[in-house]
Structures are given as C-alpha cells and as structure tokens.
Amino acid sequence: MKRTLLLIGCLALAATQAQGQAPPAGKLFPDLARTPPMGWNSWNKFGCDVSEKLIRETADAMVATGMRDAGYTYVNIDDCWHGQRDSLGFIHPDAQRFPSGMKALADYIHSKGLKMGVYSDAGWKTCGGKPGSHGYEFRDALTYASWGVDYLKYDWCNTDGLAAKGAYMTMGEAIRAAGRPVVFSMCEWGTAKPWEWAKGIGNLWRTTGDITACFDCIVDHGTWKSWGAMQILDMQQGLRSFAGPGHWNDPDMLEVGNGMTTNEDRAHFSMWSMLAAPLIAGNDLRAMPPEVRAILTNREVIAVNQDSLGVQALRHSAADSVEVWFKPLAGGDWAMAVLNRARSPRHVAFDWKQETVADSVSGRSATFAATAYRLRDLWTGRDAGTTARPLAADVPAHDVLMLRLRARPGA
C-alpha cells in the first residue's frame, strides 16, 4: 500500500508540474544537444534482436574502438526491449532479454563514460508491437528517470487518430516534469512537418521515413518505403533554417558499416556531417573493419558536424551528377563537400576566383576573389594548397572530396 501511495503521489506531482509549474519547453535543460547528438542505436543492424549482453558489449566496444573518445556518447536501445506493464501501469523490461534490469544496465554504461538511451512510441503499441506510451507518458518518463536514462527516441507507429504535435508535447512535458535531463528524439518521419513546430518540444526530429543501407535506391515494403542515403539527402532541401544548437533536423541514423562500399560509407558520413545531422551509428561495433572505424572516428570530419555555429550546409551547385556543398563554420572557416553521385569517376574543376558563396541562414558569405583560404583535405588529413589556384580533382564514383577552408591570416 505504501508503495502504491508513493507512486500515485509521484504521478500527481509530475502532472501538476506539467500543467502549470514546469518551465517552458526547452528551458529546463538548456545545455542539451548544443551540437548534434552522437552515439549508437541498435535498430539498423539488430532490429528487435536486442539484449543486455549486446548493449553491454556495445558499450565496451564504444570505448575500445575509440568511438567514445571521438565524441560518441549515447548507447541507445531501440524497439523490443519492453516487457509488460504492472498493475499500476509502469513499464518493465523483458526479463529474459534484460535480466539485470535497466537501472543496472544504465549504471554499467555510465561507468564507461557513456550515456544510455531507450525507445518508445507515441501510439498504443511500438512499431515492433510492444507496449507504447500513449496514456502512460508521465509514468514512463518517471520510470526512465529512475533508471538513469539520458536519451529517448519516440516513434510514431499505431497512432491512428492522434495529432503529432500534441502527442509529442505531452511526452516532452512528461520528461521535463520527471526532472532528469533527457535528449528527446522525435521520430515522426516528417509527415506532419515537425520542423515547423518541434523546436522547444524536442531536441531533434526525423525529417523522413526510414533509411536503408544503400547509396541510391528506394525499397518498397508495400505500405511504406525505406530510402537510400541520396534519396534522404534530397529530402533535406528547404529545411536549413529550422536547425540550430539544441534543435536539429534528423535525416535518420547512419548506415556506415552495414553493407555499402567504403566510398559510399565515406560519402554518406561526409554529407551527414555537412548537414549538421545527429551522428548515430547503427553498425555492429564489436566487429568493425578498420576502414569503417576510420570513417566513423575521423575527427576532422566530426569537427565539421560538431561545429558550434550549428548551421546546416547549403547546396551551391549541381551538374553532371556532381554537387558542391558549403557549410559555414565558427571562426570564419568553411567546409566544402564535392559529392559525386554518379556510378563512374568525375573530374571536378572549381575556379575559386569565379565563385561566391552567400548564405542567408547564417548571414555569412565568401568571395574567393577577395579572400584567400588555405585548404585541408579532411579524408587524407593533408593540406591541399590554397584558393589562389583553381581546384582540380578526380572524385571516384559514389564518393566525396571534403575540404576545410581556413582563412589565411593577413590575406
């Protein structure tokens, strides 16, 4: 009886805070997601085959492979960790898959210098058919806080009749009422244009349906489709102005290491970094080939993604399957990506003195005829001359040239 009264009291307190006394959305945890979140998620590789053993081993691998030191923080358990709700409506993990419980697992992850995330759904059931959070938002938020959860991915399956903004506001209020800082990842698939209303409710919002491990394809599942990296890249047009520190467009998790070629993995990772997208790896970190590890832990490319200015890249030009993108960086630098979407190599010639970049979102511009920059190739890790001479490069099929442009002192 005492336990019942205590739980009911906690729920009543949380509800009271959410209705009138909690700080406005986005105000309670102002330091969260100031740069795009970085971490790992179980879904792309393992789907519903999740367990305590997998998550512990992945946390170990995050440390051993250098992922943690490169900036990856969150170990996120996606769908199918759920058991059942008890008589009071509180959710419990699957006891066979997670025999030690979620609090013990979170403690283990935290002991590695990492943070733990879980998954739920705004509907009655998750996409995998497990108990959803509809009607239990405050109970679930309190439960996650008691476990020590740091990140919540919140999906949109089985939500017939629900309004997306209201459903996500409810869970956002519940998280804040529970009092533990939690990054709130809104996985609504972009259907209700969350970029127009989600700032202040969550820290990131999906802009598309699910990604799949191919560079340029569409997989038709009948009632829904999954998208290749290039299809998702194209869907980001027009969304730049909605992203920034604390609130990010999310083009879905990374497929690096899940079956594409090394060139394609490199291009995929480069463009997500240019987009200021969350970098959430989705491969098996325990069996990661050296070339995949080198891509995921490239600190110079990650620095472009994590730049404090927090501005998403703009597409400057596109011709003959070659796209040139620019991203303004803090301190006056720029990042440049030359993406070859073709199935064959392309020769690229870029005469700096004939080009000007003007970005209305950041208010930044670069007139290369007037200002010289030093060039750094972020994939070879070598200096690559200056903008005093035209750029000439051969970019392999489905690959990218990625440069950092550094303003030359006194120039």
Question: Could you tell me the domains of the chain?
Answer: 2-305 (3.20.20.70), 314-407 (2.60.40.1180)
Per annotation, catalytic residue among 78, 79, 140, 210: 210
In the structure, what pLDDT confidence band is assigned to residue 28 with cuts at 50, 70 and 90?
low
pLDDT (average), residues 281-306:
98
Sign of the Cα pseudo-torsion (249, 251, 255, 260, in order): negative
Sorted by sequence, the CB contacts under 8 Å of residue 41 that are 6+ apart come out as 76, 78, 117, 153, 253, 280, 281, 282
Residue 2's H or E segment, with its range, is helix 2-16
Predicted pLDDT at 27: 58
Average pLDDT value for residue range 125-149: 98
Strands (DSSP E) found in 115-189: 115-121, 151-155, 183-186
Per the CB < 8 A criterion, the answer to whether 191 and 235 are in contact is no
The larger pLDDT score, comparing residue 174 to residue 27, is at 174
pLDDT of 409 reads 56
- Nearest-angstrom CA–CA distance, 211 and 205: 14
Residue 254 pLDDT > 80: yes
Which of 112, 117, 57 minimizes the C-alpha distance to 81?
Answer: 117
What separation in angstroms does the CA of 378 have from each of 61, 143, 273, 309?
25, 43, 12, 19
Judge contact between 398 and 215, C-beta under 8 A: yes
User: Among this protein's residues, is 155 annotated catalytic?
Assistant: yes
pLDDT (0 to 100) of residue 201: 96
Give the integer Cα–Cα distance in Å for 284 and 57.
Answer: 10
Which residues fall within 8 angstroms of residue 407, CB to CB, at 6 or more apart?
332, 333, 371, 373, 374
Kindly state the average pLDDT of the residues 230-242.
98
Q: What is the mean pLDDT of residues 91-114?
A: 98
DSSP string for residues in 170-197:
HHHHHHHHH-S--EEEE--TTTT-GGGT
Q: Which two tokens stand for residue 349?
A: 């010639």
Alpha-carbon gap, residue 407 to 158, rounded angstroms? 51
Distance of CA 33 to the CA centre of its chain: 10
Stretch (H or E) spanning 54: helix 52-64
* pLDDT for 25: 46
Radius of gyration of the chain (CA): 22
pLDDT of residue 26: 44
Mean pLDDT of 50-60: 98
d(CA 241, CA 410): 32
Number of H helices, E strands in the chain: 11, 22
Per-residue pLDDT band at 138 (split at 50, 70, 90): very high
pLDDT the model gives residue 407: 87
pLDDT value at residue 46: 98
Eight-state DSSP code of residue 131: B
Catalytic-role residue among 121, 140, 155, 359: 155
CA atoms within 13 A on the CB side of 245: 12
**Which pLDDT belongs to residue 385?**
96
Task: Give the integer Cα–Cα distance in Å for 143 and 106.
Answer: 13
φ/ψ of residue 173, rounded to 5: -65, -40
Distance of CA 4 to the CA centre of its chain: 38
